[in-house]
Amino acid sequence: MTTNRTFTMIKPDAVENGHIGAILDKINAGGFRIVAMKMTQMTQRDAEAFYAIHNERPFFGELVAFMTRGPIIAAILEKENAVEDFRSLIGATNPADAADGTIRKLYATSLGENAVHGSDSDENAKIEGDFHFSGREQF
Ligand code: CMP
């Protein structure tokens, strides 16, 4: 089922480097509607749960340490074909491979510190959005 929604995080590196505004401008210019957004900081437990799929990978500890070291912006975005179009807007996971003009090409510094998250499927967009926006918040 296509929901036309995706989930994103502006990661601690991009927040630290002052790129929140520029990244939100790219998201708006890309035609995405911001359905929900907040600044928050993930706990170790949050990050371990959010990235549980990677828990056997050698970079897992580094990933959890990075994602918990400072605030992030978490947001649910809406647009037709949101998951795929957002992944095009952010570019390849490794900024060295990201196309010119993409958010990671412009603002990411390394494979591990790659500025933004984008859901990889409609199913994960729903799971990840619910992870950060649940309880009293209804969208
Ligand atoms: P993302 O795809 O948003 O979510 C998983 C993250 O793990 C990915 O971004 C990278 O930041 C990180 N990651 C993936 N591969 C590596 C790697 N080889 N070394 C360090 N971090 C990685």
Catalytic-residue membership of 19: no
Per-residue pLDDT reduced to its tens digit, 40-87: 999 999 999 999 999 999 999 999 999 999 999 999 999 999 999 999
Mutate to test the pocket of ligand 1, among 114, 120, 124 (most ligand atoms within 8 A of CB): 114
**DSSP string computed for the chain:** ---SEEEEEE-HHHHHTT-HHHHHHHHHHTT-EEEEEEEE---HHHHHHHTGGGTTSTTHHHHHHHHHSS-EEEEEEE-TTHHHHHHHHH--SSGGGSPTTSHHHHH--SSSS-SEEE-SSHHHHHHHHHHHS-TT---
Using the mean position of ligand 1's atoms as its centre, give its distance from the Cα of residue 59 in Å. Answer: 7
What is the average per-residue pLDDT within 93-106? 98
Confidence at residue 134, expressed as pLDDT on a 0 to 100 scale: 81
Residue identifier of the C-alpha nearest atom 10 of ligand 1: 112
pTM attached to this predicted model: 0.95
Domains with residue ranges and CATH for the chain: 5-132 (3.30.70.141)
